[in-house]
Copies of this chain bind each other. A is one copy, B any other.
Amino acid sequence: MKLHHFLFAGLVAPATADPLPSWNETAPKQAIVAFVEKVTTAGSDDFVPEAERIATFDNDGTLWSEQPMYFQLFFALDRIKALAPKHPEWNEKEPFASILKGDLKSALAGGDKALIELVTATHAGMTTDEFEKAVTDWISTAKHPKTGKPFNEMVYQPMLELLAYLRANGFKTFIVSGGGIEFMRPWVEKTYGIPPEQVVGSSGGLKYELRDGMPVLVKLPEIVLNDDNVGKPVGIQRHIGRRPIAAFGNSDGDFQMIEWTTAGKGARFGLIVHHTDAEREVAYDRESHIGKLDKGLDAAKERGWTVVSMKDDWAKIYPAAP
Protein backbone atom coordinates (compact mmCIF):
# COMPACT_ATOMS: atom_id res chain seq x y z
CA MET A 1 0.00 0.00 0.00
CA LYS A 2 1.36 3.33 -1.03
CA LEU A 3 0.66 5.28 2.15
CA HIS A 4 2.31 2.57 4.11
CA HIS A 5 5.44 2.67 2.02
CA PHE A 6 5.54 6.41 2.22
CA LEU A 7 5.13 6.43 5.95
CA PHE A 8 8.02 4.18 6.70
CA ALA A 9 10.35 5.69 4.15
CA GLY A 10 11.42 8.26 6.76
CA LEU A 11 12.78 5.54 8.98
CA VAL A 12 15.40 4.39 6.53
CA ALA A 13 16.35 7.83 5.21
CA PRO A 14 19.86 9.02 6.09
CA ALA A 15 20.10 10.80 9.44
CA THR A 16 20.92 14.06 7.73
CA ALA A 17 17.69 14.11 5.73
CA ASP A 18 14.95 16.41 7.01
CA PRO A 19 12.49 14.14 8.83
CA LEU A 20 9.70 16.73 8.50
CA PRO A 21 9.90 17.90 4.86
CA SER A 22 6.22 18.90 4.67
CA TRP A 23 6.58 21.31 7.57
CA ASN A 24 7.58 24.88 6.74
CA GLU A 25 10.57 26.29 8.63
CA THR A 26 8.35 28.14 11.08
CA ALA A 27 7.95 28.10 14.86
CA PRO A 28 5.94 24.85 15.22
CA LYS A 29 8.54 22.73 13.43
CA GLN A 30 11.32 24.32 15.44
CA ALA A 31 9.43 23.69 18.69
CA ILE A 32 8.85 20.02 17.80
CA VAL A 33 12.48 19.38 16.91
CA ALA A 34 13.75 21.24 19.99
CA PHE A 35 11.47 19.16 22.24
CA VAL A 36 12.49 15.85 20.69
CA GLU A 37 16.20 16.68 20.88
CA LYS A 38 15.82 17.77 24.50
CA VAL A 39 14.10 14.61 25.75
CA THR A 40 16.34 12.25 23.77
CA THR A 41 19.73 13.77 24.72
CA ALA A 42 21.32 11.48 27.31
CA GLY A 43 22.61 13.44 30.28
CA SER A 44 20.30 16.40 29.62
CA ASP A 45 18.11 17.55 32.52
CA ASP A 46 15.12 16.98 30.27
CA PHE A 47 16.11 13.47 29.18
CA VAL A 48 13.20 11.00 29.23
CA PRO A 49 13.84 7.23 29.17
CA GLU A 50 12.49 5.56 26.07
CA ALA A 51 9.80 3.61 27.94
CA GLU A 52 8.26 6.90 29.09
CA ARG A 53 8.23 8.59 25.68
CA ILE A 54 4.47 8.31 25.18
CA ALA A 55 2.86 10.59 22.59
CA THR A 56 -0.92 10.72 22.08
CA PHE A 57 -2.73 11.94 18.98
CA ASP A 58 -6.35 12.83 18.46
CA ASN A 59 -7.57 11.43 15.13
CA ASP A 60 -10.47 13.47 13.63
CA GLY A 61 -9.11 16.85 12.56
CA THR A 62 -5.61 16.04 13.85
CA LEU A 63 -4.47 13.08 11.77
CA TRP A 64 -7.18 13.15 9.11
CA SER A 65 -9.92 15.56 8.03
CA GLU A 66 -13.28 15.79 9.79
CA GLN A 67 -15.41 18.04 7.56
CA PRO A 68 -18.23 18.32 6.61
CA MET A 69 -18.78 15.70 9.33
CA TYR A 70 -16.80 13.04 11.18
CA PHE A 71 -15.88 10.34 8.69
CA GLN A 72 -17.24 7.64 10.97
CA LEU A 73 -20.65 9.20 10.39
CA PHE A 74 -20.35 8.58 6.64
CA PHE A 75 -19.70 4.96 7.55
CA ALA A 76 -22.75 4.90 9.85
CA LEU A 77 -24.96 6.45 7.14
CA ASP A 78 -23.81 3.89 4.60
CA ARG A 79 -24.59 1.16 7.15
CA ILE A 80 -28.09 2.57 7.65
CA LYS A 81 -28.80 2.49 3.96
CA ALA A 82 -27.50 -1.07 3.77
CA LEU A 83 -29.49 -2.22 6.80
CA ALA A 84 -32.71 -0.30 6.01
CA PRO A 85 -34.50 -3.15 4.21
CA LYS A 86 -34.37 -5.14 7.45
CA HIS A 87 -35.67 -2.20 9.51
CA PRO A 88 -38.95 -0.93 8.02
CA GLU A 89 -39.59 0.94 11.29
CA TRP A 90 -36.75 3.31 10.39
CA ASN A 91 -38.98 4.95 7.78
CA GLU A 92 -40.99 6.47 10.64
CA LYS A 93 -38.28 6.95 13.25
CA GLU A 94 -35.75 9.79 13.56
CA PRO A 95 -32.93 10.21 12.88
CA PHE A 96 -33.23 7.25 10.50
CA ALA A 97 -36.19 8.57 8.50
CA SER A 98 -34.41 11.80 7.55
CA ILE A 99 -31.26 9.94 6.58
CA LEU A 100 -33.14 7.58 4.32
CA LYS A 101 -34.77 10.63 2.67
CA GLY A 102 -31.30 12.10 2.16
CA ASP A 103 -32.02 14.96 4.56
CA LEU A 104 -28.86 14.85 6.62
CA LYS A 105 -29.39 18.25 8.16
CA SER A 106 -32.65 17.24 9.86
CA ALA A 107 -31.14 13.92 10.88
CA LEU A 108 -28.25 15.65 12.66
CA ALA A 109 -30.46 18.32 14.26
CA GLY A 110 -30.87 15.89 17.16
CA GLY A 111 -27.28 16.61 18.14
CA ASP A 112 -25.06 14.18 20.03
CA LYS A 113 -28.05 12.12 21.12
CA ALA A 114 -29.01 11.44 17.50
CA LEU A 115 -25.38 10.67 16.65
CA ILE A 116 -25.07 8.13 19.44
CA GLU A 117 -28.37 6.54 18.45
CA LEU A 118 -27.16 6.25 14.88
CA VAL A 119 -23.85 4.73 15.76
CA THR A 120 -25.38 2.37 18.29
CA ALA A 121 -28.14 1.17 15.96
CA THR A 122 -25.73 0.45 13.15
CA HIS A 123 -22.90 -1.09 15.20
CA ALA A 124 -24.58 -3.08 17.98
CA GLY A 125 -25.41 -6.77 17.60
CA MET A 126 -22.53 -7.45 15.22
CA THR A 127 -19.61 -9.57 16.26
CA THR A 128 -16.26 -7.81 16.41
CA ASP A 129 -15.09 -9.90 13.43
CA GLU A 130 -18.14 -8.89 11.36
CA PHE A 131 -17.70 -5.26 12.32
CA GLU A 132 -14.02 -5.31 11.40
CA LYS A 133 -14.91 -6.70 7.99
CA ALA A 134 -17.60 -4.03 7.47
CA VAL A 135 -15.09 -1.27 8.27
CA THR A 136 -12.37 -2.80 6.13
CA ASP A 137 -14.72 -3.12 3.15
CA TRP A 138 -16.02 0.42 3.59
CA ILE A 139 -12.66 2.15 3.98
CA SER A 140 -11.36 0.46 0.83
CA THR A 141 -14.29 1.60 -1.32
CA ALA A 142 -15.98 4.72 0.11
CA LYS A 143 -15.07 8.17 -1.20
CA HIS A 144 -15.32 11.60 0.36
CA PRO A 145 -18.24 13.53 -1.22
CA LYS A 146 -16.23 16.67 -1.85
CA THR A 147 -12.67 15.56 -2.66
CA GLY A 148 -13.57 12.20 -4.20
CA LYS A 149 -10.60 10.70 -2.35
CA PRO A 150 -10.76 7.54 -0.25
CA PHE A 151 -11.14 8.70 3.35
CA ASN A 152 -7.84 7.17 4.46
CA GLU A 153 -6.01 9.28 1.90
CA MET A 154 -7.34 12.43 3.55
CA VAL A 155 -4.69 12.11 6.23
CA TYR A 156 -2.25 14.90 6.88
CA GLN A 157 1.15 14.36 5.33
CA PRO A 158 2.94 16.53 7.93
CA MET A 159 1.41 14.43 10.72
CA LEU A 160 2.49 11.16 9.04
CA GLU A 161 6.01 12.55 9.04
CA LEU A 162 5.67 13.62 12.67
CA LEU A 163 4.50 10.15 13.75
CA ALA A 164 7.44 8.52 11.98
CA TYR A 165 9.88 11.09 13.39
CA LEU A 166 8.71 10.49 16.96
CA ARG A 167 8.90 6.71 16.57
CA ALA A 168 12.39 6.99 15.08
CA ASN A 169 13.26 8.80 18.31
CA GLY A 170 12.00 6.06 20.58
CA PHE A 171 8.47 7.34 21.16
CA LYS A 172 5.46 5.06 21.33
CA THR A 173 2.66 6.76 19.39
CA PHE A 174 -0.97 6.29 20.45
CA ILE A 175 -4.27 7.47 19.01
CA VAL A 176 -6.65 8.89 21.63
CA SER A 177 -9.82 9.74 19.75
CA GLY A 178 -13.48 10.44 20.40
CA GLY A 179 -14.10 8.15 17.43
CA GLY A 180 -14.96 4.50 17.89
CA ILE A 181 -12.04 2.29 18.86
CA GLU A 182 -13.30 -0.58 16.68
CA PHE A 183 -13.85 1.79 13.76
CA MET A 184 -10.21 2.90 13.76
CA ARG A 185 -8.34 -0.29 14.48
CA PRO A 186 -8.87 -2.06 11.13
CA TRP A 187 -7.03 0.60 9.08
CA VAL A 188 -4.80 2.77 11.31
CA GLU A 189 -1.89 0.33 11.34
CA LYS A 190 -1.46 0.56 7.57
CA THR A 191 -2.27 4.26 7.42
CA TYR A 192 -0.39 5.62 10.44
CA GLY A 193 1.86 2.74 11.54
CA ILE A 194 -0.06 2.59 14.83
CA PRO A 195 -0.99 -0.96 15.90
CA PRO A 196 -4.49 -1.77 17.26
CA GLU A 197 -3.20 -2.08 20.83
CA GLN A 198 -2.10 1.57 20.68
CA VAL A 199 -5.54 2.88 19.77
CA VAL A 200 -7.73 4.43 22.46
CA GLY A 201 -11.22 5.49 21.45
CA SER A 202 -14.84 5.57 22.43
CA SER A 203 -15.86 2.03 23.26
CA GLY A 204 -19.08 0.10 23.49
CA GLY A 205 -19.84 -2.91 25.63
CA LEU A 206 -18.92 -6.39 24.42
CA LYS A 207 -20.38 -9.76 25.28
CA TYR A 208 -18.57 -13.07 25.00
CA GLU A 209 -20.73 -15.94 23.80
CA LEU A 210 -20.63 -19.17 21.83
CA ARG A 211 -22.31 -19.34 18.41
CA ASP A 212 -22.40 -22.83 16.94
CA GLY A 213 -19.73 -23.77 19.44
CA MET A 214 -17.38 -21.01 18.33
CA PRO A 215 -16.64 -18.07 20.64
CA VAL A 216 -17.55 -14.58 19.43
CA LEU A 217 -17.57 -11.09 20.92
CA VAL A 218 -20.85 -9.27 20.26
CA LYS A 219 -21.08 -5.48 20.29
CA LEU A 220 -23.66 -4.17 22.79
CA PRO A 221 -25.70 -0.95 22.55
CA GLU A 222 -24.00 0.62 25.58
CA ILE A 223 -21.06 2.98 25.93
CA VAL A 224 -18.23 2.11 28.30
CA LEU A 225 -16.00 5.06 27.41
CA ASN A 226 -16.88 8.37 25.77
CA ASP A 227 -13.29 9.18 24.87
CA ASP A 228 -13.70 12.93 24.45
CA ASN A 229 -13.10 15.98 26.67
CA VAL A 230 -12.63 14.74 30.27
CA GLY A 231 -12.92 11.21 28.89
CA LYS A 232 -9.55 11.48 27.15
CA PRO A 233 -7.36 11.53 30.26
CA VAL A 234 -9.57 8.71 31.59
CA GLY A 235 -9.00 6.71 28.39
CA ILE A 236 -5.27 7.41 28.57
CA GLN A 237 -5.05 6.15 32.14
CA ARG A 238 -7.25 3.15 31.46
CA HIS A 239 -5.40 2.00 28.34
CA ILE A 240 -1.87 3.35 28.67
CA GLY A 241 -1.47 3.70 32.41
CA ARG A 242 1.04 6.49 32.32
CA ARG A 243 0.88 10.13 31.46
CA PRO A 244 2.04 11.08 27.95
CA ILE A 245 4.87 13.60 27.58
CA ALA A 246 3.45 14.96 24.32
CA ALA A 247 -0.14 15.37 23.10
CA PHE A 248 -1.51 16.53 19.75
CA GLY A 249 -5.06 17.67 19.10
CA ASN A 250 -7.15 20.18 17.18
CA SER A 251 -10.38 20.89 19.06
CA ASP A 252 -11.71 21.67 22.51
CA GLY A 253 -12.42 17.94 22.80
CA ASP A 254 -8.64 17.59 23.16
CA PHE A 255 -8.32 20.27 25.82
CA GLN A 256 -8.16 17.97 28.84
CA MET A 257 -5.79 15.53 27.10
CA ILE A 258 -3.32 18.33 26.45
CA GLU A 259 -3.87 19.81 29.91
CA TRP A 260 -3.28 16.42 31.58
CA THR A 261 -0.18 15.80 29.47
CA THR A 262 1.45 19.17 29.96
CA ALA A 263 0.68 19.33 33.71
CA GLY A 264 3.11 16.47 34.36
CA LYS A 265 6.63 16.97 35.70
CA GLY A 266 9.59 17.45 33.36
CA ALA A 267 9.63 18.35 29.68
CA ARG A 268 6.16 18.31 28.12
CA PHE A 269 4.75 19.24 24.74
CA GLY A 270 1.23 20.24 23.72
CA LEU A 271 0.21 21.06 20.15
CA ILE A 272 -3.02 22.17 18.50
CA VAL A 273 -3.65 21.91 14.77
CA HIS A 274 -5.59 25.05 13.77
CA HIS A 275 -7.67 24.64 10.62
CA THR A 276 -6.85 27.91 8.85
CA ASP A 277 -6.61 26.74 5.26
CA ALA A 278 -9.87 27.41 3.37
CA GLU A 279 -8.19 26.71 0.06
CA ARG A 280 -6.39 23.42 0.59
CA GLU A 281 -8.75 22.10 3.31
CA VAL A 282 -11.47 23.88 5.38
CA ALA A 283 -11.10 26.89 7.67
CA TYR A 284 -12.97 26.64 10.97
CA ASP A 285 -12.49 27.13 14.69
CA ARG A 286 -14.53 28.96 17.36
CA GLU A 287 -17.94 28.71 15.68
CA SER A 288 -17.74 25.27 14.13
CA HIS A 289 -20.13 22.49 15.13
CA ILE A 290 -17.57 19.87 14.15
CA GLY A 291 -14.16 20.25 15.76
CA LYS A 292 -14.92 23.47 17.62
CA LEU A 293 -11.71 25.15 18.80
CA ASP A 294 -12.33 28.04 21.17
CA LYS A 295 -11.13 27.51 24.74
CA GLY A 296 -8.04 25.72 23.40
CA LEU A 297 -6.96 28.67 21.25
CA ASP A 298 -6.96 30.97 24.26
CA ALA A 299 -5.37 28.39 26.56
CA ALA A 300 -2.57 27.71 24.08
CA LYS A 301 -1.24 31.25 24.45
CA GLU A 302 -1.41 31.21 28.23
CA ARG A 303 0.07 27.76 28.64
CA GLY A 304 2.74 27.71 25.97
CA TRP A 305 1.10 25.09 23.75
CA THR A 306 2.22 25.17 20.14
CA VAL A 307 -0.44 26.17 17.59
CA VAL A 308 -0.01 25.00 14.00
CA SER A 309 -1.62 27.14 11.34
CA MET A 310 -2.26 24.67 8.54
CA LYS A 311 -2.12 27.48 6.01
CA ASP A 312 1.18 28.92 7.17
CA ASP A 313 3.05 26.02 8.72
CA TRP A 314 2.30 23.12 6.41
CA ALA A 315 3.85 22.96 2.94
CA LYS A 316 1.53 20.13 2.05
CA ILE A 317 -1.79 18.86 3.40
CA TYR A 318 -2.47 15.40 1.93
CA PRO A 319 -0.03 12.79 0.62
CA ALA A 320 0.35 12.61 -3.15
CA ALA A 321 -2.39 10.44 -4.65
CA PRO A 322 -1.19 6.86 -5.23
Contact = CB atoms under 8 A, between A and B. Distances in A.
B197 A217 contact: no
A241 B208 contact: no
A241 B51 contact: no
Contacts of A203: 238
Interface string A167-181: 000001010000001
A221 interface: no
A224 B195 CA distance: 24
A242 interface: yes
A214 to B, nearest CB: 6
Max chain B C-beta neighbours (<10 A), residue from A197, A199, A225, A241 = A241
Nearest to A129: B243
A197 B215 contact: no
Contacts of A185: 241-242
Interface stretch (A61-69, A109-117, A256-264, A268-276): A256-264
A106 interface: no
Contacts of A189: 51
Interface stretch (A11-19, A72-80, A229-237, A286-294): A229-237
Total copies of the chain: 2
A208 B240 contact: no
Contacts of A246: none
A175 B197 CA distance: 13
A197 to B, nearest CB: 5
A239 interface: yes
A256 B208 contact: yes
A151 to B, nearest CB: 20
Contacts of A230: 207-208
A224 to B, nearest CB: 6
25 contacts: A51-B189, A51-B195, A174-B197, A181-B241, A185-B241, A196-B242, A197-B197, A197-B198, A197-B239, A197-B240, A199-B241, A203-B238, A206-B237, A207-B230, A207-B234, A208-B230, A208-B260, A214-B263, A215-B233, A215-B259, A217-B233, A217-B260, A224-B224, A224-B225, A224-B238
Given A215-B256, A217-B260, 5 more contacts: A196-B241, A196-B242, A197-B239, A207-B230, A208-B234
